[in-house]
Structure 1
């Protein structure tokens, strides 16, 4: 299907030769600029940009959204159907959430103004953490100012050079960076393969002081989920901790959006460390750790990314807290999201599109098979009023280049059906029909 959008090997080589010659004609950059061009990946990035220009492709990234990004968004003074947002339950823009954020600003100002340990603690921080702990049914939780920094600082601080970190090969960059920072022995196992994970754990556990298994509850690139009970059993059998990154699972997976443990009917206390973000379903920004009270107390007084960082902005904490309350009170939002994603996935597969291993919770990839093809397809859809981002090499292998659709509870059936028709038409080389918002 992607053949019409790809480049042959001969054409690709010719393009690279032409671009390389153009770079040589420019000559060396002066002074510091030359040194910056030597940074890892800088030349590859420049080559990719020039290749896109030579192929007549616009940069699909960093497009400014002029309003609230939900099922639709305003880009360039035009309303588009939007599949580029984590606003899974439509709570970013909900009047109740915005009122809660405004009330926090009126009371505390825009910023926490300091580390929470020093002088930045506000009552809304504790209220949010209590609500997150209650959501999981665990003892305690701690909110951080950044989701990415949560994984980096917790993994980097919790584990050390005598320890073992075993993680899924598709784990988020923040987990990989935290594991690298820790100095622990790090082993990646084949994506979602619990048997491969146990084989690695069994072979390497004896020489490690502590062992930690890190998985995601809902993988952001493929939209699939792990067999959580298998990983719990494995952790107990080998005296290891289990950490689950629920960034894309909160409010998405499980009948009422409680996450991967609800999906599998597992007591959340069987997982040692729950991690998540406030920036997706909870329509704010930041991260959290939930679980054992001793762990949370230790992190609160020692994790560098918490102790030495400014506290979470009160308005963001209030927005996340109100979103969590709405999630608990209105589970029908979760049901709508799951119906929409199941419809999208079913129609895509019926149309012969490659959706990989998506489980149909909120994320559905359409695998195109080449980076050039994915970029061209994204642009063709954008021209017709559909915003969906391509995932290109080196983020994924070129053969796995894709469009990644984030579904929302607010998408309509008409939008979903029109989108699938447009994708199929564009991939077939036909001019897509006009898309109605």
Structure 2
């Protein structure tokens, strides 16, 4: 997700005020001795903004696309309002959601351990399946150790809090996911962004400013969730090694999608995964579960076990969720043809969209294919037009992406048949122009 539209490179996360902030007009009007009262929530600026957007949608006949109830299992197809649709809005990259082995593993773990571990892993929430999944993930990345977190979104924030201090710097791609931005905002260190996938921009900053900081952590994504492109991993490794920094790679959308066997961005780039200091990922995409993971050195995971707030102070991951993800990972390793099918379907959709003259931005055409339409209203209207024709894809609007870059985002699954891709392209051909 975009860090914050309009932010420039090297801008501090929180600019220092140059003068004492003036009292808000409402407080000045109350006088020195009056006691201010918090506004009702229906007068909160965010509520007013949401209300205005809903009113505009009603006037234009556009439906709110958020929080809709899907009446079927997330996968290549779904059911909305009683209608069967081809689904391009779910993360089930390898078609494992509901796989019999995954369901059995989930049920067996629930029968043995219950639906909750009922405590922090530090105190009473540790179960054998946690260690088994951590070992399997570590083996995938050729790392010394792995570590599970109950929340994928909270994982990077917990890592940053545990590792960094006032003399340190987080240096991330400007399009890094919201979980990194939000996680970094509460850390007592500096935070800068470099232009998207611009290695020259990153190198210039490192040359000029690296000596000002003790530890520098560079953060990028193996596959960017909004744009469907990836980082230049080889160049990033060279920069971090040359300047003595750490490198953290978000594999949330790369695992199971990139590389000949789905091992992710290191396999895709042909680099030794041990040269990356911190691998971060989620279980909610290819591994059809929920939660986050970290892989790296044993010293890293020892620090996190002792100091990461999202692990120490949170309930542990439910054992059935860990068991399901472990089963899915085993199937991925055993059946690389699923990865190959996903990549083939993605390529077919990407090439067909290009032939229709659609703007796919910088997408690589693997797993995620965005169709950039620009305006929010035009994108909402296009999504509804496609739904009426049997295709479900989610419209991504501001603030999820910068102004004038709203898009329809297509997630491809190995479970999509060739006929699903052909039908999607046929619908796009009939519905064009979308904007």
TM-score by length of 2: 0.90
Name the counterpart of 2:199: 194
Q: Tell me the equivalent position of 1:96.
A: 101
**Counterpart-to-counterpart distance in 2, 1:33 and 1:70:** 44
Residue 10 of structure 2 corresponds to: none
Given that 1:217 and 1:246 are in contact with CA atoms closer than 8 Å, whether structure 2 keeps it comes out as yes
| Residue equivalent to 1:185 | 190
Q: Partners in 2 of 1:361 and 1:131 — Cα distance?
A: 24
Per-residue Cα deviation, 1:397-429 (whole angstroms, up to 9, x for no partner) = 232111000000011222112212212322337
Give 1 or 2: higher helix fraction: 1
User: Counterparts in 2 of 1:138-149, with a 5 A limit?
Assistant: 138-149=143-154
2:67 aligned partner: 62
User: How many angstroms does 1:202 deviate by?
Assistant: 2.0
Q: Distance in 1 between matches of 2:321 and 2:241?
A: 36
Distance 1:75 1:355 in 2: 26
- Distance in 2, Cα, partners of 1:197 & 1:415: 41
Is 1:268 the equivalent of 2:273? Answer: yes
Structure 1 gap ranges (5+): 1-30, 431-437
Which residues in structure 2 correspond to 1:120-131 (within 5 Å)?
A: 120-131=125-136
SS at match of 1:294: helix
2:37 & 2:331 partners in 1: Cα distance?
A: 52
**Post-superposition offset of 1:175:** 0.5
2 CA distance for matches of 1:58 and 1:187? 37
| Consecutive unaligned residues in structure 2, runs of 5 or more | 1-35
Q: After the TM superposition, which of the residue ranges 384-393 and 166-175 deviates more from structure 2?
A: 384-393
Partners of 2:434 and 2:343 in 1: CA distance: 31
Deviation for aligned residue 1:306: 0.2
Mapping for residues 295-334 of structure 1, pairs under 5 Å: 295-334=300-339
Q: Is the 8 A contact 2:176 2:220 kept in 1?
A: yes
Assess if the C-alpha contact under 8 Å between 1:377 and 1:427 holds in 2: no
Describe the shift of the 1:302–1:374 C-alpha distance in structure 2 as closer, same or farther (beyond 3 A).
same
Instruction: Please state how far the C-alpha of 1:156 moved relative to its aligned partner.
Output: 2.5
Displacement, 1:140? 0.1
3-state SS of 1:257 partner:
coil
Does 2:347 match 1:338? no
Equivalence for 2:15: none
CA distance in 2, matches of 1:109, 1:398: 46
Query: Segments of 4+ in structure 1 off by > 6 A?
Result: none
Q: Residue 423 in 1 paired to residue 407 in 2?
A: no
State the distance in 1 between where 2:180 and 2:403 align: 23
| 1:235 alignment partner, one of 223, 235, 240 | 240
Structure 1 residue 136 corresponds to structure 2 residue 136: no
Instruction: Say whether the 8 Å CA contact 2:342–2:413 is kept in structure 1.
Output: yes
Number of paired residues?
A: 400
Deviations 1:286-336 (A, max 9, x none): 000000100001101211110110000000000010001001000000000
Q: What's the secondary structure of 1:254's corresponding residue? A: coil
- Which one of 195, 199, 208 corresponds to residue 203 of structure 1? 208
RMSD: 1.5
Residue 3 of structure 1: aligned partner: none
1:399 equivalent among 389, 399, 404: 404
Instruction: Answer yes or no: is 1:157 the counterpart of 2:162.
Output: yes
Give 1:215's aligned residue. Answer: 220
Match of 2:24 in 1: none
State the Cα distance separating 1:66 from its structure 2 match.
1.4
Is the counterpart of residue 279 in structure 1 residue 284 in structure 2? yes
What do the CA deviations read for 1:161-185 (whole angstroms, capped 9, x no partner)?
2111110000000101122111211
- The residue that corresponds to 1:28 in the other structure is none
2:298 aligns to what?
293
Residues 383 and 232 from structure 1, CA distance in 2 versus in 1: closer, same or farther, beyond 3 angstroms? same
Q: 2: CA distance between counterparts of 1:218 and 1:39?
A: 36
